[in-house]
Amino acid sequence: MSRYILMAFVLIIAAGCVKDNFISYDRSALLSLTPTVNKNEATISHDESFINNFKIGIQVTNSEGTELYYSYTKNLSLSYGDKWNLSKPVCLTEIYAKIYAYYPFAESDESISGTGESAVVNLDIPKDQVMALQTDYMYASQSTFLPTGGGPIYYANPHVTLELNHALSLISFVIYKEDYIGAGELSNIEISDESTISGLTVNSAGTEKISMRLSDGKIINGNSSSEISVNSVENSITETVDPGLNEEQLKTMVNGYMYVVPSVFEERSNVQFELKIDNKIYTITHTGEGELTWAKGFQYIYKLRLTNTALTIMGIIITDWDVNYSGEIIIL
């Protein structure tokens, strides 16, 4: 019976919000959301035909993020049909609202816990993954109707452009051949950390699941792992000259990549990369000395030179996250 009461309640709310000509009098309006991706991280996601494939989790609270706006606004979904639609209508009143969001949407309400500033969503970051099946986790926390600036979200400002941010770091590899006679088939990438306590993080082994805070994208819990890997890369190394240092060009030449939980390594020389090329494993030690940080929302491009005897790091480029992978998928 309670489900029918809730449905009736939602319908009543929606009916009271559709009188657009009387918004100033009724002081209510339906919330509408248009998602975009932080332009400083991934401008390619502004392509409407791409972002329209998203299904995004939405939580609506009061402006302090301490209480749900309505009892049913804990875990709504936002998806695109002929326009962006919430799974249930949300009627904004004089009370200011705050929008929390995450991607991809979790169908089970058990995957999200807490409200607003304390809300977290469970993630799945295994130690070993298939290249094309990696998940790009994103988040948003916004109390204005524009990504930056603008006024509060309430009945007078119901149309919200929602800015999503990347919660992970993107580790990418651009490889070119120099006097290499093999086919150059890249099949597997592994990252390892030889520190006593590794800076790499994967799924929790205990009851506390690895989770992402919706307020700031911080990833909590999880277990330290000495290595992580992606397989089934299925990429052919074709470049035969050094591609230089142009960021935009390198972003279109990525041979393989890995999403990682933002990490801090106490000593960068403890970090190693293993790449399997033509069924031979090449091991590279990270160059330099001292602490190494991989921050969320950044792409780290490692330019590698492959010869008949070695694979060598020739340059490291840190850039905004915006890349086309030469395989079947597009990286955000």
The pLDDT, as a whole number, for residue 15 is 54
Which domains, and CATH codes, for the chain? 2-166 (2.60.40.2620), 169-331 (2.60.40.2630)
Please check whether residue 263 is in contact with residue 203, taking contact to mean a CB–CB distance below 8 angstroms. no
Identity of residue 297: G
What is the model's pLDDT at position 200?
Answer: 97
Are the beta carbons of 43 and 61 closer than 8 angstroms? no
Q: What is the per-residue pLDDT for 208?
A: 85
3-class SS of residue 248: helix
Token readout for 253 is 């030449």
Q: How far is CA 4 from CA 73, 109, 203, 289, 309, in A?
A: 16, 19, 38, 63, 69
Tokens 């304390």, residue located:
118
pTM: 0.86
Q: Convert 80-116 to b/e letters by CB count within 10 Å (16 or more is b).
A: beeebebebbbbbbeebbbbbbbbebbeeeebbebbb
**pLDDT, the chain, mean:** 87
Residue 47 above 50 pLDDT?
no
- Counting Cβ atoms within 10 Å, is residue 317 exposed (0-12), middle (13-18) or buried (19+)? middle
Residue type, 71: S
With a cut of 60, say whether residue 270 has pLDDT above it: yes
pLDDT score of 9 more than 90: no
Is pLDDT at 39 greater than 90 in this prediction? no
Percentage of the chain exceeding pLDDT 90: 75
C-alpha 27/C-alpha 16 separation (Å) is 10
Query: In this predicted structure, what is the pLDDT of residue 52?
Result: 78
Per-residue pLDDT, 50: 67
Q: Strands, E, within 221-288: which ranges?
A: 223-225, 227-236, 256-260, 263-265, 271-277, 280-285
- CB contact at 8 A, 135 and 104: yes
**Rounded mean pLDDT, 4-11:** 48
Identify the helix (H) or strand (E) that includes residue 24.
Answer: helix 23-26
Residue 14 belongs to what H/E stretch? Answer: helix 2-17
Q: Is the pLDDT of residue 8 over 70?
A: no
User: CA of 29: how far to CAs of 68, 80, 88, 206, in Å?
Assistant: 17, 20, 14, 44
279-331 pLDDT per residue, tens: 999 999 999 999 999 999 999 999 999 999 999 999 999 987 743 333 333 33
**Chain segment 105-143, per-residue pLDDT in tens:** 999 999 999 999 999 999 999 999 999 899 999 999 999
What digits encode the pLDDT tens for the residues 178-235?
A: 999 999 999 999 999 999 999 999 999 878 899 999 999 999 999 999 999 999 999 9
> What pLDDT is recorded for position 125?
96
* 56 pLDDT higher than 60: yes
